[in-house]
Amino acid sequence: MIVTLISIYLIGLPLVYTVIHLIGIDPDFNLSLINLFLANLSLTMNNLGGLIIGMWMFYNAESLKQDKWTWLLIGLIYGQYSLLLIAIIMIMQNINSRLDLINSIRKILVLLIITFFLNIAAKSLLTPYLTYVMDATNYGFVIKYTSLLTIISYGLMILMNIILAIKLSSWIKSIYMPKRIIWIIATLFLRVFPVILFNVLTITQKENY
């Protein structure tokens, strides 16, 4: 999953272009190298936030006693939303150390700001430029095959939702929280948000005790 996602984010369109020419699926698909480069740059910029967040989580996961490959995958798929979950874990682990907590949250805020402006740059600069330099046919092909890559990404996201639901089910069982089936269904459909809420409730329970 990780290799597939990173390949899609970084070189997705050249991979599709190569497959099309090797198999001959669509002989009318004929982008110049510069247009292919610009189109893939736009695709990469749209996903650069998730790549940066995923790599940051991979680098810092072990210090938080978390599995680095799992967190790399969560960062790649959920992007900025995954920062909410890692923030909850940092709060849980640094609840008694105000300085460590402030430093951790500051890093997350910096990441959030950087990825936010990267998303704006991709949408407001590169996409209009592509429509300007490409003719309608070429741009149509870019949209078509970018959508195909997006479908693959969403398929991997659904698989990740199932993995999170399984993990959440085991967590709930270990602390005897009621209505486990509702939490599982919510995770399948609402992605990482129920996991964030579950961790918030866990913090609240620990504080009450």
pLDDT at 169 over 70: yes
Distance CA 90, CA 105 (A): 8
Q: Is the pLDDT confidence value at 95 over 60?
A: no
Q: In 61-179, which ranges are continuous DSSP H helix?
A: 68-78, 80-93, 98-121, 127-133, 136-175
Domain with 121 in it: 2-208
CB atoms within 10 A of CB 199: 19
pLDDT confidence band for 120 (50 / 70 / 90): confident
Mean pLDDT along residues 82-109: 74
How many structural domains does the chain have? 1
Q: Of 104, 103, 58, 92, whose CA–CA distance to 199 is shortest?
A: 92
Question: Mean pLDDT for the chain?
Answer: 76
pLDDT at 141 over 80: no
pLDDT at position 207, please?
52
**pLDDT computed for residue 175 by the predictor:** 64
